[in-house]
Structures are given as C-alpha cells and as structure tokens.
Amino acid sequence: MISGDTLFGRLLGRGSAQAPGTRIHPAQPCAGLQLQLDNQGRVLHIGGTLRQQLPQPLSSDPLPLLRDLLCAHSALVIEGAPLHWQRHSLDLDFHTAAGPTLHTRGAVEAHGDGWLLRVLDIGDLLGDRQAAQYRQQNHQLTSQMSEQLRVCSLTRLPQVFNEHLRSLAQRWHIPCVALALLDQQDQGWLIYSQYAAHDAPALWQTGQHLGTCLDSINSNTPLSLDMAQGHSEHPRLHSVFGNTDGFLVPYRDGQGVAAWLLCGFYSGQQLTSERDWLNLTAALAGPLLSRLREQRHHQQLERLEALQGLLGTGWWELLPASTDIQLAPQLVRSLNLEDGPSRLPQAAWLNLIHTADRQELNSRLQDLQTLGKPLLTSVRLQRSDASGLPIWYRVQGQVLGVGDNRRWVGFMLDISDIKNQQLQAAAAHARLDNLIASSPAVIYVQRYVNGALHPAFYSDSLLPVLGWTLAEATHDSLLAWVHPDDRDIYFERTRQLLREGSVRSRYRVRDKQGDYHWLLDEAKLLRDDLGLPVEAVGLWLDVTEATLAAQRVKDSEERYRILVEDSPAMICRYRPDLTLTFGNTPLANYMECLPEQLPGMNLSHWLSEEQRLVFVQRISQLSPEFPVSTAEISLQLPGREHAWWVWSDRGVFDEHGQLQEIQAVGRDNTEVRRSQQQLTQSAKMATLGEMATGLAHEINQPLNVMRLAIVNILKRLGNGDVQVDYLTEKLQRIDAQVQRAARVVDHMRVFGRRSEVEQQPFDPAQALEGTLALLAEGMRGKGIELRIAPACGPVQVKGYADQLEQVLINLLVNARDALLGTRENDRDFQPWISVHHEHDSRHVRIWVEDNAGGIDSRLLERIFEPFFTTKPIGVGTGLGLSVSYGIVENMGGRLSVANGEDGARFCVELPVVES
C-alpha cells in the first residue's frame, strides 16, 4: 500500500506539491490520473495520462461528484467529504469509455483551499495477483487429484478418475471432457473415461476406440481446434470432435505421448497457461497410467499363480554358498507345505521325493552344480493323492550366468495325470496282449486283393485255439478247415461282408488235431476315401461250449416240459392282473377244462371278493429282494365245495424292478384243511363235554326256580287265595327263567356247529360275552370270583368268533380246574380269574390270569404241544391248548403264556383290521 505526499509524489514523478488553491495545468501529462476536488468532493479538474479513458469531459455546471465517476462498490469507499479520506490508501474503480473498469490506487492530499486526488493504474498488478492465485488453486487441485489417484484402491480407480474429470469440467466450464489412452492390444487409442455436462451432447463413450488418428499429432503443447477459423492442420481430428471446437493436451512419458486430454466444445482461452494444462494432464494421466500398470502387473501375477496352481508347477532355485533351496509360493502349496517356509534345506526337499527316485534326483542335481549339465527327470512324491495313485513331478533345471554369478534355477511340473495314464495304458496294453493271447478269441485281418479276402494277420491266440500258425493260415487252407456242411455259410458270410460292410455268423472250423470248433465270426469291412474295400477286421470266438450247452439246454427244456406236464402239482404263470398265461395239465384237470383253455382265464373268477383283495395285496408286496410268497387260498369252484390250495408264488421282474409275471406252484390242501376243521370241531365237542356238568347246572337252576314258582301258585290255588298281581309276578319269573334256559341252549347249539368257510371281521368282545354266558354262573357256583374288566371300545379282528370263544373257554376251563385243585389242598384259598382286554392301533390283546400259583417252568415250552396235559389220565385230551394255539395262529395272531405274580397269564394277541 502506497501513502504519503512525498512517496506518492515520487511515484507521479514530481518533487513537491503545488501551492494550495491553484489548479494544476502541467505542461506535460503526468502519469496516472489527477483529480482536483473541492471540500464537498466535487471534481474541479481532471488531468494525467489516464484522462482519455474516462467516458465524458468535465462539466462545470453543475460540477460532478467524484462518486459519480466511480463504480458502485468504489463509491461506497468515499462516503462523506475529502477531509475524511486523507491519510488513507484508496482503491478506486472508474467507469471508462471503452467499457472495462479502470482499477486504480492512490491517496487524497490538501491542495490550496481544496483537495488533490492522485491515483495510478494497478490493473496489471491485480491481473498478476489473480493469475498467481489461479495458478496456486490449479496446483492444489492437481496435487489433490494426483494424490487421490495414487492412494485409491484399484477397484475404485475408474470411479475416482471419473469424479476428477467431472471436477475439471465444472471448474474450467468444459462441456465434454475425456482421457484417451493407448490400447495395449491393437496399439490404437481408446477413451478410458469421459464426462459430459447434462446440457451438452456426449462426444465420446467410455471404451470407444479412436483408431490411430491421434498418432499423427506430434506436439508437446496443447492444441486448439477452432472450426470457426477453418483450422485444418489436423483434419483427421474433426471426426474425433464431431466437427466442433476442441482442445487437446498431450501427456508424454519416457516412450512418447501416452495420453491425451480431450476437451470438446472448448477453445482453451482461459487464464490457464499451457504449462498449467500440461501439469494438469500429467497430474491425471501420470498416476492413472502408473496404477493401470500396477493393475496389469497384479493381474499377470494372479494369472501366473492361477496357472501354476492349475498346472501344479512352480520355480525353484539352488541358493549359492549354502545347501538351501528356494521354492515358489505356489509350489510350496502344491507340495502340501502350506505351513512350511519357502526356503528349506536341500535334504528336506529331497525327503519329499519317493525313495525309488531320490538318489537319481540327487545325482542329477550334483551334475547340474558341478558340471552344468541340464537337469531333466520325472520323480514321485512320498505321498499319494486321494485315489491312492502316486503324485508325479517333472523336474527340470539349468545354469544361468557364469563364474561367481552362476545360478541354478528350474521348475517342477505336476504330471501325475499324464504319468498315471501312461502307466495305466501300459498296464492295460499288457493285460490286453495277455488277454488276447490267452482268450478263446482270435483277432484277424484279411486284405482285399482282386475281389477276394486273403489272411494277413492272426493274433497269437490262433495257436492255442486251433493249433495253426499264421504261415499255415492261407486263403486256400482256411477254406479247407471249414466244415463241409458249413462252407455255404462261410461263402455267404464273405459275400455279405463285401456287400453290407459287416457280418456275424457261426460255423465250424477244424483244428490241427482234426477236432471241429464252433466259431462265432464277427467282422467289419474297412474302405478307403473312394469307398473301395481295403481290409476286413474281425474276430473268431470259440463258442463250442456255449453251442453245446445251448443244445443241452434245449434238450433240458424238453425234459422240463415233460416234467411240468406230468407233475402232480398245479403249475402256472400269470400276469399281475391275475390273468393266466400258462397252466399245466393237473391244473386243467382240477378246473375240468383243457390245458389250451387256461391261458386268458383269470384267477379272480375262482376267488371271493375278500380272498381276491388279500391275494392281490400279497402279490403287490413281492419285490426283487423278496420275490417268493406262500399262502393258503380258498377257492369257490362252480358247482363244487370250497377248496383250499397251498399256493407259492415267485415274481419275475424287469431291469427296473417292475413286476412282469408270477410263476406259481400249488397243491390241493382241501383234505388237510377239512381234517383240521374236524379236529377243531372235535376239540369243541370235547370242550362241550367237559362243560356238561356246568351246563346242566346252568339249565337246572332256571328249572328249579320255575318248579318252586309253580308249587307256590298251586298252593294258593288250593287255598282259594288267588291274586292277579301274585300270579302275574310268578308267571313273569317263570318266563324269565325259560328265556335264560333258552339262551344257554341256543348258545350251545351255535357254539357246537361248524365254523364259517371264510374268516369274517368281528368284535372280540362278542366272543368274550358268549364265553361268560356259558361259564359265568358255573364259575360262581364253584366259588370262583370272576374279575371282568369293562370293554375299552369297539374294535375289529378277522377270523371266526366261535373259534375265539372256543379258545377263551379252554383257557377259563383250564384255569378253573387248576384253581379247584389248589383249593382241595387249601380250604382257605380264595380263587379268582381275571379277564381283561386292551388294544392299540395294530393289535388286540385278551389277558386271562388266575391265582393258582402258575405253571412249572419246565413245562412252559411244551404247554402247546398236541396231547400234552398235566391232568390225570382220562380227565383231559391234551388237545385244548394245541388247538387253541392253531386257531389263534390261523387268525394271524399269537397265543403266549407266562407266569405272573399270582399264577399263569395267557395272552391272545390278534391283529386289528378296519371295520
């Protein structure tokens, strides 16, 4: 800041101030601008070299104020009178005639009775300062951009760079800006990143190829492309900028121009110098190229590591002046040394090699170090892979440098797949050679010569099969070996092979001992590019044993057919829908038809609906693991009694496990079944016989009651004392006793008749009620307490209700006899029998328990044997429990016995069926 009269006068080129009150009329114009003011700040006179820039001449009426000559912001600085302005440095901006503002700096000093304002033009000083500030801001911006590009992650590099382009475009007001880099693939230029303002069309796209148009520009400075002036020094750039104004800034590195900053719709006429543009471009392109090279380097390292990992390879180096070896990190991982160091002693490295290859590798390493002989070998590791195969490595090494600068480097490559395949192929080839030489198959080659096939090769198996050698196997001798009866087949075989290109035939050939062998001949004709026959390749397979076996099978089938037809058993085959496909003569005789009439008949015609459902369900349960099922079936033959067959089925399944057919063998079990029924009926009658005393008591009881009632009635009638109510009560008692006796007799009649033919669903509580109806009163009469638990809800089992009643009667009668025997020895004994039943979703269990002390443990295993009894001779038959066991088993259940706390516990367990 300049102030003071002396200093300000020196700046204006004057020695001292003029006398106060005089106007200044210099002979020569002084530098700057001089304004003479009165005390109110009106301009009296204007002088100086800058006078011509003011807009209008000074008018004396009225005199203008100084603030009228200034811009609005400067007018605020000089409020008040000149008296207040002195001793202050004033920055004043004047209006000019040309339009631009005149920037001045000066001071006010007293001059006579007025004031003198002297100012100098400081526009250049302000411009330089503004330019310096602008350059400083640019430098800070470029430094910030460069630093951010250097420290950001490689993944965010494109995003950060695009943000810098946007900041650059907004600061310099560039509508479209982009950076072009050299394409590393085709050596052209491409747009790495671009930014376009929202109101400007996009000249470029990220990744756009520009070709080689920028190569023709050899410039170290920014280049402006002004379409208005018709600039055509580089006409190829017009298409790059879309025939619009543009501005290009190059960036050079050690290899030449490496990047271009493209500014579209922009001429570059700003305060920014060319050097600033170059620095700005370098701040963007330099770090970017460095980071891109870094990224490419990382990618190459990653690709190299991935390739080494896929190949199972890596470098190694023998370190001089030591016995250590340096391994690549990827090789360390491949050798399963993840936790180990990459540098390890040579002996430790050799210990990784299989013992069979270690000495050879060590010797070759010494030759490499001492003689410089290149190393090339294949070794195995001590360990194997997951499949148990050895791990093979190819080890190669060489010497680099000479003298003291020698280095021994190499690589290890995993060749396990190739080596193991080679070993497997060699083993397979050896096995194939051995198999061909020892097998009954003879491989041959016949050359096509002049329309005929001549033997050219036979495998070594020709000698053990036929006893002939290749020298003996000629075209004529081969025909002589063929059996005379089969020569027509052989001739037809040759014609078919030449006509169709392949053939399969069977004929007999004589061996050297004169015996004939059946050979299966399979051959294929090979042709050239023109379709002409070249040779035939085929094999002979000795099928003598198979052919003879087939004949024996054929003979055996005939014998089997005779055996099946003459068998006393009924043999048939049928489909899953029960349709017969075959039946032998015994089955046809049983059905009273011819064997030819059986195919097409359905087994379900001879079964009841219930039997058919059970039969189909049993067949559906056959599987390849359990293909056999045996059961007794009941048939309803038209016009005949029921028949029972013991029927055995075997399922035939396809490769998918689907049932295709059933083979069945059956025998008539009707007589046996009737015998079993008769035995059951006899046991039932025996049970009735054993209950005769109790049943007589059951019938005598109501008879005695009726007799007493009749005697009382007759007495009243004899006395003449007859009352209707009394007679009615007695007659009702007699009627109740008659019904009681009738129920006992009816139940005895139902119990005594034969069981139904087929099993039926019923509630086991019915059998228990019938049992108690026959035995309850007799038990109580003998002093035995019956503990009957109430039923636990309705449930259904399948079988015969009368037979289950027979089982329960046998169990209660046996318990009664055991209790009475115990009471004979102990008169204070209180006998009881407990009967209760329970069921779940699968079974019904009926428990019969007494307090007779139980059964001797030595007799428990024999308790259900036929004719076994513990009763005295003549008292028991020994069939009750045996028959009961068979009845329960026939209903699909189980009868068991065990000793409880007080006595024996019998359990009848039956399967539950749906209602």
Contacts of 128 (CB under 8 A, 6+ apart): none
The residue with greater pLDDT, 270 or 190, is: 190
Structure confidence at residue 488 (pLDDT)? 93
Confidence band for 690, pLDDT divided at 50, 70 and 90: low
Q: Please give the mean pLDDT across all residues of the chain.
A: 80
DSSP assignment of 715-726 equals: HHHHHT---HHH
User: Are the C-beta atoms of 600 and 579 separated by less than 8 Å?
Assistant: yes
Q: Report how far residue 740's alpha carbon sits from residue 737's, in angstroms, rounded to the nearest whole number.
A: 5
Give the mean pLDDT of 634-645.
71
pLDDT, tens only, 785-842: 888 887 777 888 888 787 888 788 888 888 888 888 888 888 888 899 999 888 888 8
What pLDDT digit, counting tens, does each position of 760-783 carry? 888 888 888 878 877 777 788 788
Is residue 672 pLDDT above 80, yes or no? Answer: no
**866 vs 140 pLDDT, higher one:** 140
Give CA–CA dist 908/810, Å, rounded.
12
pLDDT at residue 41 greater than cutoff 60: yes
User: Distance between CA atoms of 283 and 288, rounded to whole angstroms?
Assistant: 9
Asked if residue 482 lies in contact with residue 509, where contact means CB atoms within 8 angstroms, the answer is: yes
**pLDDT band, very low/low/confident/very high, at 535 (cuts 50, 70, 90):** very high
Select from 835, 848, 834, 839 the least CA-distant residue to 895: 848
Helix (H) or strand (E) holding 731: helix 724-752
What are 706-731's pLDDT values in tens digits?
777 777 777 777 777 767 777 777 77
Given a cut of 50, whether residue 5 has pLDDT beyond it is: no
d(CA 741, CA 183): 120
Reported residue count of the chain is 915
For residue 886, give the nearest of 628, 689, 748, 681 by alpha carbon.
681
> 517: part of which helix (H) or strand (E)?
strand 516-527
Higher pLDDT, 497 or 553: 497
At 480, list the tokens. 């002589």
Query: Higher pLDDT residue, 437 or 519?
Result: 519
Give the confidence band of 640 by pLDDT, cuts at 50, 70, 90.
Answer: low
Q: What burial class does residue 614 get, using C-beta atoms within 10 Å of its C-beta: 0-12 exposed, 13-18 middle, 19+ buried?
A: middle
* Over residues 45-55, mean pLDDT: 84
Burial string for 769-797 (b: 16+ CB within 10 Å, else e) reads ebbbbbbbbbbeeeebeeeeeeeeeebbb
At 873 the pLDDT is: 46
Range of lowest pLDDT (424-428, 430-434, 618-622): 430-434
pTM strictly above 0.85: no
Domains and CATH numbers, the chain: 5-121 (3.30.450.20), 145-299 (3.30.450.40), 314-415 (3.30.450.20), 430-548 (3.30.450.20), 678-911 (3.30.565.10)
pLDDT over 70 at 878, yes or no: no
Return the structure tokens found at 92. Answer: 């004043």
When pLDDT is cut at 50, 70 and 90, the band that residue 26 belongs to is very low
pLDDT at 6 over 60: no
pLDDT of the residue at 458 = 87
DSSP 784: P
